[in-house]
Amino acid sequence: MLEAKNLTKRYDDGLLALDNLNLEVKEGEIFCLFGANGAGKTTAINLFLNFIPPTEGTALINGIDVTKEPLKSKRYISFVSENVMLYDNFTAFQNLDYFAKLAGKRLLSKKDYRRALQKVGLEESAYTMRTKNYSKGMRQKLGIAILMIKDAPNIILDEPTAGLDPKAAAEFLDLLLEFKESGKAIFMSTHDILRAKYIADRIGFLKQGKLVMLRTQSELEGEDLSKLYLHYMHEHGEVN
C-alpha cells in the first residue's frame, strides 16, 4: 500500500511543488493522477522513491516511512518511467539480470527472464539484441519485465503510455490489469485520460501541487472524463 500523509514539497527556490497531499493506494487498486505539466505529479513520485526529501509530511510504502528506511521501503516498490532507460550496450537478458540482482533476486535463471519477456510480449529475436536498437515500445516492455521480475507489491508509473502506439498501449494496460488482479497497488501519473478511465479505480486531479479533485470509478460512471478535466481546469482558471 502507498500512502501520502500531508506530503508537502517546497523547493529551494520557494516553489511549492506539492501541497499537503493525502492519499492512499490500496492493494489491488489502480490510482491515476492527472495534472498539467508542473502540477506536481513527478514531485509526488520522486517523494515516494525518496529521490528528494519532503518539506513536510510522510510518504509510506507498506507502512514504511521512505525517508527513515529508504532501502527497506524500496524492496516493496517497482518503478517505470516515461522513457524506460536501460543500459544500451546490454541485451534484454543482461539488463534483466542486473536489475534483478539490484532488487535482491539473486536466484533467478535465464528461464525466469525468458518467461518474463514472453509475458510482456517482447519478440524472442530481441532478447539478445542490444537495447540501443530498441523502439520505445520494446523498451517499455522490457521495463515492465524488470518490474515483473522484482515482483514488488507496489508499482509507480510515470507517464507510462506516453509515446506508445495504440496496440502497445493497449497491451500495456492489459498487463496493468493483471498486476492489479494479483493484488498490487499501482500509482500512475498520466495525461492519457481515455485509457485511465478504462483501468483506474480512482483518479485524482493535481493543480499547482494541490490535490483538487478525487473521484472513484463509480463516481465517474457515465462521465466524459475529457470534458470533466477541461471543465475542471477551466473553473480553476487553468484551461480556457
Partner 1 sequence: MLRDIIKKEILETITSPKFVFTFLLCTILILLSVVTGINNYKAEKQEYDAAFRLNRENLESQPSYMTLAGIGTKINKPPQVLSTIVSGIQQSVGRVATVNIAYDPNLEDSKYNSNPIFSVFGALDLSFIVKIVLSLFAILFTFDAIVGEKERGTLKLTLSNPVPRDRIILGKTIGGFISLLLPLIIPLMLGILILMISNISLSGEDWGRLGLIFLLFLFYLSVFFTLGLFVSTLTQKSSTSFLILLFIWVTFVTIIPKAAVMTASQVYPIPSVHEVTAEKDAYLQDIQTEAMEKRQSYSRENPFNVPQSDPEYQQKLDEYRENLRTYIEELQQDLTRRIDEKNAALEADYQSKKDKQRQYATNISRISPASALMFGSMRLAKTGINAHDSYLKTIKEYKREFTVWVNERMMQTINMQTGQQEGDTDLSTMPQHQFQPERLSDSISGALSDFIILIGFIIVFFVGAYVSFIRYDVR
> Is residue 110 involved in binding partner 1 (CB under 8 A)?
no
- Under rule CB under 8 A, residue 85 binds partner 1: yes
Q: Which is nearer to partner 1, 8 or 50 (CB)?
A: 50
Distance CA 103, CA 126 (A): 23
Residue 81 makes contact with partner 1 by CB under 8 A: yes
**Binding to partner 1, residues 158-217 (CB under 8 A):** none
Q: Is 101 in the site for partner 1 (CB under 8 A)?
A: yes
**Closest CB 33 distance from partner 1, rounded Å:** 17
The three cell numbers of residue 99 are 536489475
Q: Is 92 in the site for partner 1 (CB under 8 A)?
A: no
Nearer to partner 1, 189 or 193 (CB): 189
DSSP states of 108-165 as a string? --HHHHHHHHHHTT--GGGTTSBGGG--HHHHHHHHHHHHHHHT-SEEEEESTTTT--
- The residues facing 26 across adjacent strands are none
Q: Which of 6, 15, 22, 88 is in the footprint of partner 1 by CB under 8 A?
A: 88
* 15 touches partner 1 by CB under 8 A: no
CA-angle at 212, arms to 194 and 54, nearest 5°: 105
Counting every residue written for the chain, the total comes to: 240
User: Binding string to partner 1 for residues 137 to 156, with x set by CB under 8 A, is what?
Assistant: ---------x---x-----x
Task: Confirm or reject binding of residue 62 to partner 1 (CB under 8 A).
Answer: no
Min separation Cβ 102 and partner 1, Å: 4
The Cα–Cα gap between 111 and 116 comes to: 9
How many other C-beta atoms lie within 10 A of the C-beta of residue 138? Answer: 21
CB of 181 to partner 1, least distance (A): 23
**Is beta strand 2-10 parallel, antiparallel or unpaired with respect to 16-25?**
antiparallel
Q: Are strands 30-35 and 202-207 parallel, antiparallel or unpaired?
A: parallel
Residues that bind partner 1 (CB under 8 A): 42, 46, 49, 51-52, 71-72, 74-75, 77-79, 81, 83-90, 94, 98-99, 101-104, 130, 146, 150, 156
